[in-house]
Amino acid sequence: MDVCFVIQQRLKELGLEQRDLAVAAQVTESYISQLLTRKKAPPSADRTDLYDKMNAFLKLPHGQLATMVQEQQREELKKKVVDAPAPLFKNVRELIIRKCAGQKQKQVRDIFEKQAFGELERLVTQKLVDVAKGVAKDEFNDEGWLRTVAKLSNRSYEEMRAIILEFLDTDVFNVSPEHCSAFLDPMIDSWDIDLETFAMEIVLNSRLASKQVMTFQFVQTDSVPSPEEEPGFKEFLNNSAMSGGATAEELEFLASLRFGPKRPTPLYYYRELQSLRDPLHFRENLGATMHKRREVGEVEKHRQAESRKSAVRRWAKNKGRSRKNGKPKIA
């Protein structure tokens, strides 16, 4: 069943208005209106407390609206036809370029304008959106933070809350001018990119983000061969006479060894294993050694004390017998 229809019907049954629901959900009446007329898609249930507030206000079973939204979104996803990516809105692109470090703006603009929505533009926009969404998700339940964002973008608290709810569900292909002017603009101070390695640095507004500078690396590295690719190590593992009894920790260490162009034999791994087990090859931790010595010393002291006590008991026993017999007795 359509979640918008259920909400409309419930409002009618309770004799309530959209503005009442907007107040309860802490969003604008305009947002509720667009939601119920399907001009805006319902936000994902796992990213907002909107449906909990609506459930309580409309006196519906706990979790009913969220469950309906999840099912509705699954059905829509099945019907969705994936089209070619459309270019960004002109003012969205202008904001992205304007936030770029000054010395690179012209170069970046030239690259962006060569293609409607090319690889570099998608990469930069996606990373800026991801960073902004990450901050929004972490801070969304902080009313003071929301009011600060609203003030910076000249919007009301309720307007800002509705915009961020929608922004959390957007992606790089659907980011709108409203998202940019209301949230990306105050959130992102600047960004820079190395056009050879594609390493990015993003500077965030210190009033809105606890971490002001974020860096990202996009560097291609040579693949490291896995330990199993060493033929000698394979043979060592297959020879139970050599590797039998080796612990997982010892095998992990042997597998991590690297030799450049040289190829070690199974015998090398066997000898390395014996070296690992030889206590003469490793210095014992000084603290542990001192601790052991203290333990040995305490045991020895305890033994000596018990020995003295036994000697005293024997002497006292023998002295008592001597007095009873009237004869001196040597202990």
At 121-156, the pLDDT tens digits run 888 888 888 888 888 888 888 899 999 989 988 889
Contact 232, 266 (CB under 8 A): yes
Residues 241-269 have pLDDT tens digits of: 788 778 877 888 888 887 777 788 888 88
Closest Cα partner for 224 from 257, 265, 175, 268? 257
Q: Is residue 88 very low, low, confident or very high in pLDDT (cuts 50, 70, 90)?
A: low
Higher pLDDT, 236 or 304: 236
Q: Which amino acid is at 103?
A: Q
Instruction: Give residue 329's pLDDT.
Output: 47
Question: Which one-letter amino acid corresponds to residue 223?
Answer: S
| pLDDT tier for residue 330 given thresholds of 50, 70 and 90 | very low
At residue 80, φ and ψ (nearest 5 deg) are -70, 135
DSSP secondary structure string for all residues of 153-188: TT--HHHHHHHHHHHTT--TTT--HHHIIIIIHHHE
Residue 190 token pair: 């600047």
Alpha carbon distance 188, 209 (integer Å): 10
Decide if pLDDT at 313 tops 60: yes
Taking all residues of the chain, what is their mean pLDDT, rounded to a whole number?
A: 78
pLDDT on residue 281: 66
Q: Are 140 and 90 in contact (CB under 8 A)?
A: no
Alpha-carbon gap, residue 126 to 63, rounded angstroms: 32
Determine the average pLDDT of the residues in 311-330: 60
In angstroms, rounded to a whole number, what is the distance separating the alpha carbons of residues 164 and 53?
Answer: 17
When pLDDT is cut at 50, 70 and 90, the band that residue 221 belongs to is very low
Spatial CA neighbour of 161 closest among 128, 181, 139:
139
Residue 192 has pLDDT above 50, yes or no: yes
With bands split at pLDDT 50, 70 and 90, how would you rate the model's confidence at 167? Answer: confident
Burial class (CB in 10 A: 0-12, 13-18, 19+), 185: middle
With beta carbons less than 8 A apart as the criterion, state whether 36 and 8 touch.
yes
Tell me the sheet residues that pair with 190: 203
Among the ranges given (74-78, 275-279, 298-302), the one the predictor scored with the smallest mean pLDDT = 298-302
- The predicted pLDDT at position 190 comes to 92
Q: Is the dihedral of CA 164, 168, 169, 172 positive or negative?
A: positive
Per-residue pLDDT at 304: 63
| Amino acid identity for residue 73 in this structure | Q
Q: Which pLDDT tens digit goes with each residue over 2-60? A: 788 888 888 888 999 999 998 998 889 888 888 888 888 888 877 678 888 888 899 88
Task: Please tell me the predicted confidence (pLDDT) of residue 275.
Answer: 84
pLDDT bracket for residue 225 (50, 70, 90): very low
Nearest C-alpha neighbor of 128 from the set 201, 27, 48:
201
Given pLDDT bands bounded at 50, 70 and 90, which one contains residue 302?
low
Q: pLDDT tier at 284 (50, 70, 90 boundaries)? A: low
User: 40 or 281: which carries more pLDDT confidence?
Assistant: 40
pLDDT score, position 144:
92
DSSP class of 27 = S
In our burial notation (b when 16+ CB lie closer than 10 A, e otherwise), range 109-133 reads bebbeeeebeebbebbbebbbebbb
